[in-house]
Structure 1
Amino acid sequence: MPSPGVRPPAREDRWSRIAGLCGVVASIAWLAGDILLLGKPMGTADRYPLLASYDGTARDSLAAMLPASTTRLAWGALLGVLTGPLYLVACRHLRQGLRPARRRLSLPPYLLLVTGFALAPFAHGSFYYWGQAAKAVHESGAGSGVLTGLPGDMATVLFIPYGVLLACWLAGSVWMAVCVLRGPTAYPRWMCAVNPLVCIPVGALLTRVVPGAAGVAVQGAALSVGNLLFFTLSTAVLWKRRE
């Protein structure tokens, strides 16, 4: 009989599975949100002169959001923000998978990944305000340099938390891989290659090879596709090993 205050293994397994499924559900919701935010055919600079002021990721994101309706952008942002807490629950699943290893080895990657996922809803939701600001500048027809630069100023602030969360995911992924390799954890050794550092580039590759209208729809969903792959594999592996 388990000692007082200690959950029975069966209950721990059940909560671990529920937490893993939370990660899968959140990733699907965020994928849908990305499609609504960034899944429109990109506008061009001749139709949206504002785009001439930007390049790279900022230009591509604005080019996808400018043709989208306000309602579409709002739902795209809200799907991510309102389901963001599910990612924090899902991190408990990762903690359970790593916990058999020593605390000093298993706790840091968990904390780093939690930090990244805690920042993600702010970054995702901010796309609504960024896109709306760009649409307002375009529709006003104003030639003010201050107004034209407003979306760029918002993008600068937006990309700061994105940079921090990606850095946390990078550090957490490397630490998680080391933890799985050194063990013992609930994961098999090959799971050292299943983490955001690996899954997100794979997600980016998948979004690039999808053809036609489906490829346009997922053009901005690399992070969500990567996280869906990550949590799906982790949940499936731990589910099977604990049966």
Structure 2
Amino acid sequence: MTPSTVAPSPPVAPSSPTGRVWVRLTGLSGVLASLAWLAGDILLLGKPMGTADQYPLLASYSGTARDSLAAMLPASTTRLAWGALLGVLTGPLYLVACRQLRQGLRPAPRRWSLPPYVLLTAGFALAPFAHGSFFSWGQAAKAVHESGVRSDVLTALPGDIATVLFIPYAVLLGCWAAGSAWMAACILRGGTAFPRWMCVANPLICIPVGMLLTKALPGAAGTAVQGAALSVGNLLLFTLSTAVLWKRRG
């Protein structure tokens, strides 16, 4: 038989033992990545927030930017570095984990199952840059504060970094929102490995739930996870998907 007549090997079926192991490993990759990012968020943003009296730089900012800087300014350089690196170095695990979502949707037609996978994967591909940029943002603010120099140019530096940082965040959240809506519609339509109630297991739902959970924790625990809503939401997403698909054969 010539090489041109050799039939290609069939893809691994999710219902085969090898396929089930792959689905489990991809799900566990998402859980592991979420835990690593949760630890990174705690290191980056889990300190009690400083005040404008302690850090006059904060008076120039408001909203989310001010809260993030208020949490990073009291942190050490080493703490910020490890917080950023935990997310950047484990970012590829999220891309592996997206394959589990693809397997869960795959029995549905490609026109329904492929777009949410692509959109969600695009969002997770952008996430490590956004997460890692918090180190530069926090370090810039710390340098401005510790220099003691009152300069409009220096004061604006953290804001310039935040502007660039929030652009990929906006794009990835947009990808997650669109992918979540499409994924929910695909599951509700039927014909996937996910039961229909899993239509609520997507970033568009899980991240707001993560926000509620992080705000509900009291005291030091609440302070530690005050900036970890996305990681908690993703941990919930991949824990649910892994549990649902763990023993599923078809």
TM-score by length of 2: 0.95
Query: Match of 1:108?
Result: 115
Matched to 2:243, the amino acid is A
CA shift for structure 1 position 66: 0.0
Give the equivalent residue in structure 2 for 1:7: 12
CA distance in 2, matches of 1:113, 1:239: 21
CA distance in 2, matches of 1:166, 1:216: 24
- Match in the other structure for 1:33: 40
Separation in 1 of the partners of 2:28 and 2:176?
20
Q: Deviations over 1:75-104 (max 9, x none)?
A: 000000000000000000000000000001
* Structure 1 stretches of at least 4 aligned residues deviating more than 6 Å after TM superposition: none
Which of 70, 77, 82 lines up with 1:75 in the alignment? 82
Kindly tell me the number of residue pairs found equivalent between the two proteins.
242
1:135 pairs with 2:145: no
- Alignment deviations for residues 28-50 of structure 1 (CA, whole Å, 9 cap, x no partner): 00000000000000000000000
CA distance in 2 between partners of 1:11 and 1:240 (Å): 13
CA deviation after TM superposition for structure 1 residue 119, in Å: 0.1
Q: Which runs of 5+ in 2 are unaligned?
A: 1-7
Aligned residues: percent identity?
79
> Whole-Å Cα distance in 2 between the matches of residues 13 and 112 of structure 1?
24
Number of the residue aligned with 2:240:
233
Q: Are 1:175 and 2:182 matched, yes or no?
A: yes
| 1:1-243 equivalence runs, <5 A | 4-8=9-13, 9-242=16-249
Deviation at 1:11, TM superposition (A): 1.2
CA RMSD of aligned residues (A): 1.3
| Distance (whole Å) between structure 2 residues aligned to residue 169 and residue 92 of structure 1 | 15
3-state SS of the aligned residue for 1:241?
coil
CA deviations over 1:119-174 (Å, ceiling 9, x no partner):
00000000000000000000001111000000000000000000000000000000
Separation (CA, whole Å) in 1 of partners of 2:217 and 2:96: 31
Whole-Å separation in 2 of the counterparts to 1:105 and 1:7: 21
TM-score, scaled relative to structure 1: 0.98
The higher radius of gyration belongs to 2
